[in-house]
């Protein structure tokens, strides 16, 4: 394998030894009640840690109101901070770096997951498309969410700031803000889900306001050089999708570029961005990273159905600086070494992606275990 993926890169204050990143992956294996990370999660992340490598831990709700699926971990309680400390300690012992993805799902939730059974919140009272998970792992239609009042938005921003402070206390090396995949920050960005008439709706500048203010709140905690942002300009998860993404995302990326962030993380159009099924998008650009690369002055991570060869090509061409792998990392705890050595990959089992215990989580073998 070409050295392109295995040349060092500086990401904020961290010198990474290679460019194979683990993408944030919802696995729904936190302990309940409390949605607390535990020893099984620490084992999972430690298996995938490598010396000088970067893991982006799964999306974690910044408040009880931000939860969208059962058994997803949070970062809003003392117990969750302690649970995540097990994870960060385990990764650091392997010489790895780990960022936490901060998450508020907005309308992509169900009242059974909300405190006191209240309706999920959103920029506008427009339901998501598809089926919601309930607290009992059932599927039902999404409910019509409650539109956030303008005076409530400061609380949303503070919940992300508090999540960042808690992530710092839990030992994370940085945080990634989830502005993709149809969740709350993207709901505010896109006119299809945001029909507000206040300072957070209408123009591109207004619709971008919440993401930029949340980003500033996180950088106030970690410093800009330890904060990343994930976007999916051409994603279609849960009824998301801007009619013409270019003007919106050019503005967003240019404004984020002024903040000196650790990285920008873009999901490619060929990926669904939601993970529940493979989606073949038509009439979209070949590469979001290639399209927006000229707008971004810093490290750019690309994600979305990459193979070892296409990842190498993306880095060698300069389209991206690092590549995030998802499903391949689920099934191959030693993915960087397999790519480096040209070793065949374990196949993944989609049926075990969400929920459960060790099966399909910590029982995928490394190549050394297979060869023993």
Which residues carry out catalysis? 183
- The string of DSSP letters for 116-185 reads GGPPPEESSS-PPSSEEE-TTS-EEEPPPPEEPPGGGHHHHHHHHHHHHHHHHHTT-SEEEEEE-TTSHH
Provide CB contacts within 8 A for 78, sequence distance 6+. Answer: none
DSSP state of 77: S
d(CA 216, CA 211): 9
d(CA 324, CA 63): 26
Token pair belonging to 283: 């009439």
Q: How far is CA 31 from CA 11, 51, 105, 108, 306, in A?
A: 32, 28, 20, 21, 31
- Residue 151 preceded by cis peptide, ω within 30: no
Is residue 211 within 8 Å of 189, Cβ to Cβ?
A: yes
Closest CA to 178 of 289, 271, 75, 59: 59
- The string of DSSP letters for 304-316 reads SS--HHHHHHHHH
Closest CA to 16 of 324, 270, 285, 316: 324
d(CA 202, CA 345): 47
Provide CB contacts within 8 A for 309, sequence distance 6+. Answer: none
Token pair belonging to 209: 């306001």
Which phi and psi (to 5°) does residue 272 adopt? -65, -30
d(CA 296, CA 121): 31
């Amino acid at each position: 394998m070409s050295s392109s993926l295995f040349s060092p890169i500086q990401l904020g204050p961290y010198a990474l030894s290679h460019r194979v990143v683990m993408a944030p992956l919802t696995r729904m294996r936190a302990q309940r009640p409390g949605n607390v990370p535990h020893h099984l999660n620490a084992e999972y992340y430690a298996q995938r840690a490598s010396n000088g490598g970067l893991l982006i831990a799964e999306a974690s709700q910044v408040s009880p109101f931000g939860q969208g699926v059962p058994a997803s971990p949070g970062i809003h309680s003392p117990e969750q901070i302690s649970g995540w400390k097990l994870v960060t300690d385990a990764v650091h012992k392997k010489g790895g770096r780990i960022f936490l993805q901060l998450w508020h799902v907005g309308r992509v939730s169900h009242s059974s997951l909300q405190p006191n059974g209240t309706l999920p919140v959103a920029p506008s009272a427009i339901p998501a498309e598809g089926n919601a998970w309930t607290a009992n792992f059932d599927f039902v239609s999404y409910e019509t969410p409650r539109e956030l009042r303008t005076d409530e938005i400061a609380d949303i921003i503070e919940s992300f700031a508090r999540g960042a402070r808690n992530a710092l206390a839990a030992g994370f090396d940085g945080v990634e803000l989830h502005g993709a995949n149809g969740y709350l920050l993207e709901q505010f960005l896109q006119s299809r889900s945001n029909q507000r008439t206040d300072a957070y709706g209408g123009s591109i500048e207004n619709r971008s306001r919440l993401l930029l203010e949340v980003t500033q709140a996180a950088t106030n905690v970690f410093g800009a050089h330890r904060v990343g942002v994930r976007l999916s300009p051409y994603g279609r998860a849960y009824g998301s999708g801007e009619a013409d993404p270019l003007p919106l995302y050019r503005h967003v990326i240019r404004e984020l570029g002024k903040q000196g962030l650790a990285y920008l993380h873009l999901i490619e159009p060929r990926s669904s961005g939601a993970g529940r099924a493979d989606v073949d998008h038509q009439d979209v650009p070949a590469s979001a990273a290639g399209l927006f690369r000229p707008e971004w002055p810093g490290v750019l991570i690309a994600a979305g159905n990459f193979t070892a060869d296409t990842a190498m090509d993306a880095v060698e061409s300069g389209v991206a600086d690092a590549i995030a792998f998802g499903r391949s990392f689920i099934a191959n705890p030693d993915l960087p070494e397999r790519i480096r050595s040209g070793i065949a990959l374990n196949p993944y089992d989609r049926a075990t992606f969400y929920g459960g215990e060790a099966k399909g989580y910590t029982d995928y073998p490394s190549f050394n275990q297979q060869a023993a």
